[in-house]
Each structure stands twice: as structure tokens, then as C-alpha cells.
Chains A and B, each alone.
Chain A
Amino acid sequence: MNVKKRLLDGARMNRAIRRMAIEVVEKNRGIDDLIIVGIRSRGVPIGERMAAEISEMEGKPVPFGILDITLYRDDLTTIAPQPVVKPTKLPEPIDDKVVVLVDDVLYTGRTVRAALDALIDFGRPKVVMLAVLVDRGHRELPIHADVIGKTVPTDANEVIKVKLTETDGDDEVLIMEK
């Protein structure tokens, strides 16, 4: 795959995540009842950074959790190799809370569908919001993001590669071509 374009570098990614954190607090009018939940795998570091930004801004910690959606995917039978199932870790009950789901890229919407199903098995949140670093279009389900780092129109043959220091040693977002 060839790199077609560098969408975000480290500095711009950090600014995007900071702005996403501010938008979450604004939309929620504070951080009461807020829980940030990262979707494995790259939603986790992005969610952690948002939670850290919010905690710093508001001067008190905001709970952070991790959601593994492997068992809820609709393509379990067709993907290979299968991802290894890892635990879901939620810091507290989500009943009547405002849960902000965080993922790296919003594409078909199927991951978010699975995440909503997974989340509902843990309780009944008051509100679920979706925050993504990149929205690349091509939705296959009626799903939208509430908070978006960067919107970018893409072709179906392009791949968005999100690299994060925590998982890939570096911060950047690339558009690749198959």
C-alpha cells in the first residue's frame, strides 16, 4: 500500500483530541455522570487522552473504561485471523450515565453497532455519545458521530491508517491506497 496523503501529524492530532475533549464537556454541560469508554484497540489510547484532557480542564478525574466488541461483531465468520478476545473493563456501573464511546475511525458504522450492543449488556446509560478521530464516510448503517476530530471524504479503495504512540510508536494519520 502506498501512502497517498498524511492527514494529521502528531501536533495536529493532539489539537484535534483536545478539541474533541472540549466538545464533549460542552455538549454535556460539564462532566457530571460522564464516562469515557474507548473501543479496543485504537479507541483506547484516544479515549485515555481525551479523559486526561477533560480531567485537567475540569480539575477532577473522569472515569475511563475499555470495551471489547469482538464477540458482538457481525463479521466474526468471515474475518481471518480472528482477533483475540480481551476483557471489557468498565470503571463503574453505566446505568443513568453519559457514556462517550471513542474510536479511531468511523467508516461503515458496524463497529459502533457492535459497541452499542455490547454496552447495553452492561446497563442502561442515560445517553450514549460517539467521538471519533476521523470520519471517512461510506456508512452502511444509520449511525453518526457527535464529536469528530477530522472529517475526510475518501474512496472505498483507500485505507485510513491511524498510528498512535501507545500502540505504534508514533502519532499520525495517513491515507493509504490499496
Chain B
Amino acid sequence: MRTATSSLLTKDLLGIESLTPDEINLILDTAEGFKEVSERPVKKVPALRGQLVINLFMEASTRTRVSFEIAEKRLSADTLNFAASGSSVEKGETLIDTAENLVAMHPDMIVIRHKHPGAAKMLADRLPNVSIINAGDGAHEHPTQALLDAFTIRERLGRLDGIKVSVIGDIAHSRVVRSNIHLLTKMNANVTVAGPPSLIPAGIERMGVRVVHSLDDAIRGADVIMMLRIQLERQGKLSFPSLREYYNTFGLTPERLRIAKRDVIVMHPGPMNRGVEIASDVADGPWSVILEQVTNGVAVRMAVLYLLGGAHAVE
């Protein structure tokens, strides 16, 4: 059994929606301490020694899975990677059965990526003694991505309060944008979303964001421009005439950035479709903090793992 030893975090990290600003700040502050660990000659601390973390990735992922795995290893946890392909899942095993079989091996934490919204929550409810970390559930949430984005903004701009963030692209299919809107609005940042009408869900204003339909309106005055990937695999068919037209209308190029603030930063959660939502000259240009996001991802995930796993109460 666990008690709320860590005083702020619960057993699981399922989404940003249920976090308080204090909890978000605790995670970001803790991540600052962890960033330095990755710069040491010995990139490892013993904080989670003897704990078993299972990475249950039921959907393709490179960056997130690798980032979690590095974070786990730098905390000295034992890790086990379980992917859907080549496993019992292909033989028809249900998620609950898979999870209960894994739990019989006494893991301390499970990091789960699944195509269905609520998959992480279901595991968390079924498994009272295991911490569940949501690494993306369908179009619902991707909390560690939002946390690493916030960490990167805070590191670059010194704060989140009052910062103007424009999120551009496929708002409808993106769990990243949902988690980011929850986080940024909780921290009093001003969020604008932009994209073709077909990719902006009706009623998104209720989440506390401004909606614009032109790239120029989104760029003008923004401190942070967050480009989203056009998720070809989630759309079935395109929600706009062609990729070429999308690039001409919403693709971020150096020319389009001329009206931006001089010190604007450009983010992308990856993987990028170069030449679709972002031009290579922007992705690799002076505005880009895309690779910093990747580096910070490890520190933020270490902080989350540590705050959930380091808090084992021995009754």
C-alpha cells in the first residue's frame, strides 16, 4: 500500500487535467535538479535502485519510449520493454490480461502508451499497487510531453505566467495539444490554437483558448510557436485538399516568421514532417528549441518517475 508520502503527487500520472499548479511546479522544479545528472561523467543516480519499471508500448513510439527508458536507467531502475508487436497481444490477449500477467512479476511502475483514450486510467484503477504513467492514450492526453514543453518554455523564457503560446496544426487529433492546453491554462499562459477549420474541434474555446484560422494571426505577438505534426495515421484520409496546400497555408517557413517577435521560439513534439507543417530552415534554424525539448524530456521523465516511485511508503 502507498500513502501520500510525496505530499503532492498521487499514485499515477494519467493526465495534466487532474494536476494542480503546485504539483506541476514541483515536477518542473524537480526536473531542474535532474537535468544536471545527464551531464555528469557517471550519468546515473541510485534513487530507484531495485525498482522494476515496465514500458508497455501498444502503439508505435520512438522518442517517448527511448526517453522513458533512458530516464529509468539513469535512476537505476530495472526496465522491461513490452511492445504489442511480436507479443501475446498479437495472439488476442486483452490489455487487462496482459497487464495482470505483468503485475504478477511485481513491477513498481508501468509506463503505458495505447491507442485508446482511457487505457492508462483503466490500468490505474485495476492495479492499486502499481504506479501508472500515461505515455499517450489515443487523442486524450500525453502528460509528460506537456511537462517537457512547459519545462523548455520556462527554461527559455523564465516563466509560464502571461506567456503567449500559439499551437498550430492538427488540433483535433492531438493528445499533445490537449495536455498542453490543460497545463498552460493552469499556469496562466495565454494559448491560441490555429489550423484549418476541419482540424479544430468545435467548442475548443471552452478549454480557455483563442481560436484563429490564419497562420499570420497565430504567429503575430506569440512568444512560443508550437507546431503539431499532421497525423496522417490518425486521420484515415486528409482533412484538407493536399499536403502541398497545407504547407502553403499553415507550414512554418522563415518567410512566414518575419512578422514574429524577434526572440520567438519554435517547438515541435516530433516526429516532424519536414515540408508539411514545418520547413527545414525553421526546424534547424535559430528559432528552434526542438532538440532541447528532447533533452529536457529525459529530465522531466526522471522527475516524474522519481516523484511517483521514490515515494514508496513502507506502511
Q: How far is the CA of A121 from the CA of B41 in the complex (A)?
A: 7
Contact of B40 with A122 in the complex, beta carbons under 8 Å: yes
Query: Contacting chain A: which of B30-38, B157-165, B172-180?
Result: B30-38
**Of listed A70, A82, A118, residue having the most chain B CB within 10 A:** A82
Tell me the nearest residue of chain B to A85, going by C-beta: B33
Considering the complex, give the chain B residue whose CB is closest to the CB of A68.
B33
Contact of A82 among B40, B42, B310 (CB under 8 A): B310
With contacts A71-B45, A121-B40, A121-B42 taken as known, whether A87 is within 8 angstroms of B313 at the C-beta atoms is no
Which residues from 75 to 90 on chain A have a C-beta closer than 8 Å to any C-beta of chain B? Answer: 76-82, 84-89
Give residues of chain A (127-163) contacting chain B, Cβ–Cβ below 8 Å. Answer: none
- Which of B's residues lie within 8 Å of A, judged by CB? 5-8, 26, 29-30, 32-37, 40-42, 44-47, 75, 303, 306-307, 310-314
Q: Report the bound CA distance from A82 to B29 in whole Å.
A: 13
With the chains together, A126 CA to B8 CA distance in Å?
A: 41
Q: Are B40 and A80 in contact (CB under 8 A)?
A: no
Of A72, A82, A121, the residue contacting B307 (CB under 8 A) is A82
Q: In the complex, A72→B44 CA distance in Å?
A: 11
Ordered by A's residue number, 22 sampled pairs between the chains whose C-beta atoms are within 8 Å are A70-B33, A70-B47, A71-B47, A76-B310, A77-B313, A78-B313, A78-B314, A79-B5, A81-B5, A81-B8, A82-B5, A82-B7, A82-B311, A87-B33, A87-B35, A89-B36, A117-B46, A118-B45, A121-B40, A121-B41, A122-B40, A122-B41
A84 near B46 with CB under 8 A, answer: no
In this complex, what residue of B is CB-closest to A78?
B314
Q: How far is the CA of A72 from the CA of B47 in the complex (A)?
A: 6
In the A-B complex, the 5 residue pairs with the smallest Cβ-Cβ separation, listed nearest first, are: A85-B33, A81-B7, A87-B36, A71-B45, A121-B42
Also in contact, A77 and B33, with CB within 8 A (given A71-B46, A84-B26, A117-B46): no
